[in-house]
Amino acid sequence: GLTPPLDVTFYDFHPPVEDFRAEVLTGLQQPQKTISPKFLYDKQGAELFDRICELDEYYVTRTEMEILQNCAAEVADLIGDGVLIEFGSGSSQKIRTLLDAAPQLQTYVALDISKQHLYESCLNLVIAYPGLSAIAICADYTQPLQLPDIAALRHKRKMGFFPGSSIGNLEPHEAMQFLNQAATLLEPKGGLLIGVDLDKSAEILEPAYDDAQGVSAAFAFNLLSRMNRELEANFDLNHFSYRAHYNPIGRIEMCLVSRCYQIVHLGDVAIPFCEGETLRTEYSYKYSLSAFQDLARLAGFQPQVVWCDPQNLFSVHYLAI
Ligand code: AVI
């Protein structure tokens, strides 16, 4: 028979290139030394994060997959003849659970800031799902954005997909801004399927972010190695330790702690660390069902359905516009 042509359209919206050096220097000269978690994901960091997702202690990935498998048929009904738009598509793996349940789906839009694997991931997807067209858009989805004005998207109901509890790495005001922009992109009559990690005890959360094998620690330490590699820095990894602390306001706080008084150099800039001083690498916010629904309402969504696992570790919300 006839093989359908492989259909991937690529758009480059040219997201501004991040200035790693400038952002690091600003962050290290603040009273609370901070580096944005987006810099954790260079090649080595992305590989370490993939290993985190496989850890026994890190329940997030497998629990969300289990929920998605169980709700996929219901979600397929909600999508109907609309288009699916993934925010931060990465390797486009989780979307397969939805595509398996929604054979009617014609158009998939992948939004990602990294151009590297975007085209290839979409190509692999249309090979695996004959009849599916993919639109790959290299863009920063945390900034306001307009979809290309093309027939495949015009007047279509748009269903957003934002898995992995990535929203948890944003400050609540940034999370609100993201949801608000997503609502603008998905309106009218669209919706958003979003994975959100649930707030729970420190006994479960702290090991999830500081595992016995030390992969989570290595993920944070890679930030120091990355600065050594790319910014002519001379961080001595032995002079720092990793800490993941649960703050009962509902977030895990991850940082590297200086083991001694030391002066680190980045090129010709000297950065002093006191003994015990912290360098914040990441927050991971956790939400109760109602706290997340309140946030979604404030951002212009109407919470419709929420699915959880039997142990109530994780939630997947369907929000309508
Ligand atoms: C990507 N993000 C949702 C992860 C999280 O759970 O906050 C990042 C992570 N950092 C350490 N472990 C996992």
CB 98 within 8 A of CB 161: yes
Q: How far, in Å, is the centroid of ligand 1 from the Cα of 284?
A: 7
CB atoms within 10 A of CB 174: 12
How large is the ipTM? Answer: 0.99
Please identify, by atom number, the ligand 1 atom nearest to the C-alpha of residue 284. 7
Q: For ligand 1, atom 4, name the residue with the nearest CA.
A: 166
**Ligand 1 pocket mutation pick from 243, 284, 313 by most atoms within 8 angstroms of CB:** 284
Q: Rounded distance, CA 54 to CA 56, Å?
A: 7
**Encoded tokens for 89:** 């598509």
pLDDT tens for 288-320 read 999 999 999 999 999 999 999 999 999 999 999
Residue that wins the pLDDT comparison between 6 and 61? 61
Task: Give the mean pLDDT of 158-187.
Answer: 96
Nearest ligand 1 atom to alpha carbon 164? 3
| Cα(29)–Cα(261) distance, integer angstroms | 16
Give the residue, by CA position, lying nearest to ligand 1 atom 7.
284
Please compute the mean of the pLDDT values over residues 100-129 and round it to a whole number.
Answer: 91
Least confident of 16-25, 66-75, 171-180, 279-288: 16-25
> Contact at 8 Å (CB) between 239 and 262?
yes
**Cβ-based neighbours of 42, under 8 Å, separated by 6 or more:** 222, 226
For residues 314 and 197, the answer to whether their CB atoms sit within 8 Å is yes
116 vs 36: which has the higher pLDDT = 36
Centre of ligand 1 to C-alpha 55, Å, is 12
131 CA to centre of ligand 1 in angstroms:
34
As a whole number of angstroms, the distance between CA 153 and CA 145 comes to 14
Other Cβ atoms within 10 Å of 263 Cβ, number: 9
pLDDT above 70 (res 1): no
pLDDT tens digits for range 177-216: 999 999 999 999 899 999 999 999 999 999 999 999 999 9
Name residue, tokens 């109760």. Answer: 288
Question: Mutation test of ligand 1: which of 49, 213, 245 has the most ligand atoms closer than 8 Å to its C-beta?
Answer: 49
**In the predicted structure, residue 114 carries a pLDDT above the cut 90:** no
Q: How far apart are CA 260 and CA 56, in angstroms?
A: 33
240-247 sheet: strands from edge to edge: 33-34, 278-285, 251-258, 240-247
Region of poorest pLDDT, from 57-66, 103-112, 272-281: 103-112
**Two tokens at 65?**
């997959």
Nearest to 308 by CA among 124, 59, 83: 59
Gap from CA of 54 to ligand 1 centroid (Å): 12
Residues above pLDDT 90, as percent of the chain: 87
Pocket of ligand 1 (CB under 6 A): 52, 60, 164-166, 168-169, 209, 216, 219, 282, 284
